[in-house]
Amino acid sequence: MTANNIVWHDASVTKEERREKNKYQSYVLWFTGLSGSGKSTLANALARYLYESNIQAYVLDGDNIRHGLNKDLGFTDDDRKENIRRIGEVSKLFVDSGQIVLTAFISPFREDRQQVKDILSDNEFFEVYVKCSLDECEVRDPKGLYKKARNNEIKHFTGIDSPYEEPVNPAITVDTESQDIEASVKQIVNFLLEKGLIQN
Ligand SMILES: Nc1ncnc2c1ncn2[C@@H]1O[C@H](COP(=O)(O)OS(=O)(=O)O)[C@@H](OP(=O)(O)O)[C@H]1O
Ligand SMILES: Nc1ncnc2c1ncn2[C@@H]1O[C@H](COP(=O)(O)OP(=O)(O)O)[C@@H](O)[C@H]1O
């Protein structure tokens, strides 16, 4: 059921004022990739780098959000869609509050990622494709989930019996098979500097 009789209330402090005071823009870096590709590792390494540069960034991570806000959702296509829709809305609130948001969700469907982009303004959504082959992710298997999926102990596992749609035109592609964590963080930081999304 949808609610009636609700009226938007304008905020007394605007997004632009918050950005002005912070001295940096607010936006979403949307990390997407297979389980084990390195989304959480890179988002957290970048958050640490930004924090030490006096820039507030907050990581929203699939595993963590599924313990709370989205604990009612599983891994069917519809549940993943709803997962990403909610995270998109939460990210939008963070951006409105002047924060940089680093999201680390598999977000396997192009359409769902596009929908998040569509609810944000220009220069508020940057897709970061964390590229890593399924073979390498299976070797890493940091949580032992691929092993379980191969043994049929987990159904609908991304890359095994559930699809992953690669980004078509991501803002950044970090190849975590050919470069180390530090090099990927540097690549993203360089992108942010070039775009004027952070200052030196
Ligand atoms: N069936 C299945 N498929 C994929 N992943 C699974 C599954 N079951 C549990 N997990 C664990 O949940 C993490 C993915 O959650 P996400 O919210 O990022 O997934 S999605 O965006 O809704 O597809 C994922 O975390 P990451 O490894 O960090 O990606 C897994 O640890
Ligand atoms: N070059 C690399 N870049 C990122 N992670 C790497 C790299 N090489 C090895 N790893 C390891 O791969 C694992 C990736 O796990 P994680 O960050 O949880 O991935 P995801 O969030 O995509 O599931 C971590 O254990 C990390 O240390």
Give the nearest ligand 2 atom to 35 CA: 23
pLDDT in tens, 115-147: 999 999 999 999 999 999 999 999 999 999 999
Torsion of CA 109, 175, 158, 118, to 10 degrees: -20
Residues in the chain: 200
pLDDT in tens, 5-41: 889 888 999 999 999 999 999 999 999 999 999 999 9
Of 167, 168, 131, 146, which is closest to residue 38 (Cα–Cα)? 131
SS3 59: strand
pLDDT band at 101 (very low <50, low <70, confident <90, very high): very high
Please compute the mean of the pLDDT values over residues 63-91 and round it to a whole number: 97
Give the nearest ligand 2 atom to 63 CA: 21
Judge contact between 106 and 63, C-beta under 8 A. Answer: no
Output the pLDDT for position 4: 87
ipTM surpassing 0.90: yes
Rounded CA-CA distance 124/94 in Å is 11
Please compute the mean of the pLDDT values over residues 74-94 and round it to a whole number: 98
Q: Binding residue per annotation — 33? A: yes
State what percent of residues in the chain have pLDDT above 90: 92
Which residues are known to be catalytic?
Answer: 107
Distance 146 CA to ligand 2 centre (A): 14
For the CA of 187, the nearest ligand: 2
What's the one-letter identity of residue 158? T
Protein residues with CB under 6 Å of any ligand 1 atom: 35-36, 39-40, 62-63, 66, 75, 80, 83-84, 105-108, 143, 145, 154, 156-158, 162
Residues β-bridged to residue 45: none
